[in-house]
């Protein structure tokens, strides 16, 4: 099938690569000339395991092409996937300007019959919005139909999520369009759920909002565990063993970040307020998430700080992990950002390390009061405490004896619960984590 993908961000590139790999002819379009030049010369503009190989193989085998010409791509294709960015505006509303621009491009180049698929995460009603824009600006005799096909991939495991999703959701208003999409997804071995467009649009937001709720819920339970002396890891296991609840996405920590959850929850709240019923529950989910960092920093101050406006003045703190989660260099809504800012505001000097996100982190956090280090051991050198902000695999396997020797104050504050407390105690390090009792170094308890 001839497919055009508008947008070469995470969703656009992964969609292009995977559809091409299934034997389709794919043209991927972006208005960013530099990005398209990079892609043409085999450079992948984002860090995503397995993606460069998939792009290169399919480009080499001539099933995948990159261009800045939407006209060329649209006129040559039967199916057009809109995969452009939908960033948040102030107040949570989704900015649909890129979707609008994509719809106009399609309208200007409408020949034959096109199926236009919204894959970008868009508020309920955007299918109609795209239809109206195309009707208004259409040029030529072509016909079209709009379909919704939300994407559920996670960064860091985007290829495997796209190839093995839990489900594929298709929202269509005609059987013909739904069956064209079903044809594209024929090679997939998973359940495919065909529904109306409005429901498909809400499925995407409701899924992300539910997962965010699950995270805030377990984080609120972790607060309760901290005060009562219970262990949130045990509680999550016991609660998650109920199949109706499930154990996935139930890890307490510094809260959710990334390019999707924060903006999608805000957008759903905005939509719910705009069209009527409101969604107070989600406001609380957001508030719990936003309070994670100040609560965590309070514990750091309580243990290694002093009074006054700059309670951490003179303290050096190692920050292990900057990316919003492991296996990505993405710093969007990373919890490390408010964490580092608050620690610096309180007077601390930071020694930060991340396996791949340092360049992106520098653009957001700058270099004042933050020294970027070459390794976890390097960042621990002379620090009064180490903080785990992202659960990178390499941190789980750290030589804790080396960390203790490097630290001037052997204390770890673990915002992601990556260690077994007894293991840290055995290495002679005091350990503070989330929703579990602190442990002292062995022999000092």
Q: CA 157 to CA 322: how far, in whole Å?
A: 18
Q: Determine how β-strand 316-320 pairs with β-strand 411-414.
A: unpaired
To the nearest whole angstrom, how small is the minimum distance from the Cβ of residue 204 to ligand UDX?
8
Q: CA 55 to CA 60: how far, in whole Å?
A: 8
- Indicate if 373 belongs to the active site: no
Stretch of 34-42, 152-160, 310-318, 423-431 lying at the interface with ligand UDX (CB under 6 A): 152-160
Q: Which position among 83, 225, 260, 340 bears the catalytic label?
A: 260
Region 39-98 residues binding ligand UDX, contact defined as CB under 6 A: none
The owner of tokens 């009074």 is: 307
Using CB under 6 A as the binding rule, whether residue 19 contacts ligand UDX is answered as no
Region 304-333 residues binding ligand UDX, contact defined as CB under 6 A: 324-325
Considering only residues 7, 12, 258, 435, which one is a binding residue for ligand UDX as defined by CB under 6 A? 258
The owner of tokens 């809109």 is: 82
Comparison of 137 and 152: residue with beta carbon closer to ligand UDX:
152
Region 171-230 residues binding ligand UDX, contact defined as CB under 6 A: 208, 211, 215
Considering only residues 129, 152, 217, 377, which one is a binding residue for ligand UDX as defined by CB under 6 A? 152
- Least Cα distance to 370 among 395, 392, 343, 389 occurs for 343
Contact yes or no for 67/73 (Cβ under 8 A): yes
Considering only residues 48, 201, 226, 251, which one is a binding residue for ligand UDX as defined by CB under 6 A? 251
Using CB under 6 A as the binding rule, whether residue 261 contacts ligand UDX is answered as yes
Comparison of 27 and 218: residue with beta carbon closer to ligand UDX:
218
Comparison of 81 and 261: residue with beta carbon closer to ligand UDX:
261
Using CB under 6 A as the binding rule, whether residue 153 contacts ligand UDX is answered as yes
**CB proximity list for 37: less than 8 A, separation 6 or greater:** none
Name the E strands within 134-184: 143-148, 167-171
To the nearest whole angstrom, how small is the minimum distance from the Cβ of residue 334 to ligand UDX?
8
Comparison of 315 and 325: residue with beta carbon closer to ligand UDX:
325
Comparison of 156 and 311: residue with beta carbon closer to ligand UDX:
156
Q: CA 335 to CA 42: how far, in whole Å?
A: 32
Q: CA 214 to CA 234: how far, in whole Å?
A: 16
Comparison of 288 and 406: residue with beta carbon closer to ligand UDX:
288
Using CB under 6 A as the binding rule, whether residue 155 contacts ligand UDX is answered as yes
Name the E strands within 172-227: 191-195
CA dihedral 198, 203, 205, 210 (to 10 degrees): 150
Q: CA 428 to CA 30: how far, in whole Å?
A: 53
Using CB under 6 A as the binding rule, whether residue 415 contacts ligand UDX is answered as no
How many Cα atoms within 13 Å fall on the side-chain side of residue 214? 18
Distances (CA, A) of 153 to 14, 46, 245: 9, 15, 21
Helix (H, G, I), strand (E, B) or coil at 258: coil
Stretch of 27-35, 98-106, 151-159, 339-347 lying at the interface with ligand UDX (CB under 6 A): 151-159
- Least Cα distance to 259 among 358, 130, 158 occurs for 158
Comparison of 54 and 260: residue with beta carbon closer to ligand UDX:
260
To the nearest whole angstrom, how small is the minimum distance from the Cβ of residue 275 to ligand UDX?
23
Helix (H, G, I), strand (E, B) or coil at 192: strand
Considering only residues 19, 144, 205, 256, which one is a binding residue for ligand UDX as defined by CB under 6 A? 256
Stretch of 38-46, 185-193, 245-253, 398-406 lying at the interface with ligand UDX (CB under 6 A): 245-253
To the nearest whole angstrom, how small is the minimum distance from the Cβ of residue 112 to ligand UDX?
31
Using CB under 6 A as the binding rule, whether residue 257 contacts ligand UDX is answered as yes
Size of residue set near ligand UDX by CB under 6 A: 19
Q: CA 343 to CA 324: how far, in whole Å?
A: 17
Comparison of 256 and 431: residue with beta carbon closer to ligand UDX:
256
Stretch of 19-27, 138-146, 150-158, 270-278 lying at the interface with ligand UDX (CB under 6 A): 150-158
To the nearest whole angstrom, how small is the minimum distance from the Cβ of residue 152 to ligand UDX?
4
- Least Cα distance to 328 among 223, 400, 243, 258 occurs for 258
- What long-range pairs does 30-38 form, CB within 8 A, spacing at least 24? 30/66, 30/68, 31/68, 32/8, 32/68, 33/68, 35/8, 36/8, 36/66, 36/67, 36/68
Stretch of 22-30, 146-154, 275-283, 306-314 lying at the interface with ligand UDX (CB under 6 A): 146-154
Using CB under 6 A as the binding rule, whether residue 296 contacts ligand UDX is answered as no
- Least Cα distance to 386 among 396, 376, 401, 394 occurs for 376
* 352 phi, psi to nearest 5 deg: -105, 145
Contact yes or no for 432/412 (Cβ under 8 A): yes
The rounded Cα 345 to chain-centroid distance in angstroms is 27
For ligand UDX, the binding residues (CB under 6 A) are 151-155, 208, 211, 215, 249-251, 253, 256-258, 260-261, 324-325
Residues carrying an active site annotation = 260
């Amino acid at each position: 099938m001839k497919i055009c993908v508008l947008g070469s961000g995470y969703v656009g590139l992964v969609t292009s690569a995977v559809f091409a790999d299934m034997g389709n002819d794919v043209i991927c379009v972006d208005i960013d000339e530099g990005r398209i030049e990079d892609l043409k010369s085999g450079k992948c503009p984002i860090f995503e395991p397995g993606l460069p190989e998939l792009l290169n193989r399919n480009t080499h085998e001539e099933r995948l092409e990159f261009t800045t010409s939407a006209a060329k791509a649209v006129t040559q294709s039967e199916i057009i996937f809109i995969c452009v960015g939908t960033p948040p505006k102030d107040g949570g509303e989704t900015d649909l300007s890129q979707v609008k621009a994509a719809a106009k491009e399609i309208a200007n180049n409408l020949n034959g019959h096109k199926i236009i698929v919204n894959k970008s995460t868009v508020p309920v009603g955007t299918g109609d919005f795209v239809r109206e824009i195309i009707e208004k600006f259409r040029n030529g005799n072509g016909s079209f139909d709009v379909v919704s096909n939300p994407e559920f991939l996670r960064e860091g495991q985007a290829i495997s999520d796209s190839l093995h999703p839990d489900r594929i959701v298709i929202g269509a208003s005609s059987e013909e369009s739904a069956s064209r999409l079903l044809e594209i997804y024929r090679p997939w071995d998973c359940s495919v759920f065909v529904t109306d467009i409005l429901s498909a649009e809400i499925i995407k937001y409701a899924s992300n909002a539910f997962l965010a709720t699950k995270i805030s819920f377990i984080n609120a339970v972790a607060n309760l565990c901290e005060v009562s002396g219970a262990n949130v890891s045990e509680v999550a296991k016991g609660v998650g063993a109920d199949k109706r609840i499930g154990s996935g996405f139930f890890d307490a920590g510094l809260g959710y970040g990334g390019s999707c959850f924060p903006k999608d929850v805000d957008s759903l709240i905005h939509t719910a307020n705009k069209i009527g019923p409101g969604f107070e529950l989600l406001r609380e989910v957001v508030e719990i998430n936003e309070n994670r960092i100040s609560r965590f920093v309070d514990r750091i101050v309580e243990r290694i700080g002093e009074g006054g406006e700059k309670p951490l003045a003179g303290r050096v703190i190692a920050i292990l992990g900057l990316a919003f989660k492991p296996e990505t260099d993405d710093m969007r809504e990373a919890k490390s950002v408010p964490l580092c800012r608050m620690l610096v505001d309180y007077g601390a000097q930071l020694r930060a390390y991340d396996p791949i996100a340092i360049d992106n982190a520098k653009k957001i956090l700058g270099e004042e009061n933050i020294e970027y280090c070459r390794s976890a051991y390097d960042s621990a050198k002379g620090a009064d405490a180490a903080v785990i902000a992202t659960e990178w695999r390499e941190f789980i396997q750290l030589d804790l004896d080396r960390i203790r020797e490097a630290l001037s104050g052997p204390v770890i504050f673990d915002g992601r619960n990556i260690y077994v407390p007894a293991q840290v105690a055995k290495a002679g390090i005091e350990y503070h984590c989330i929703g579990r009792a602190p442990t002292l170094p062995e022999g000092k308890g």
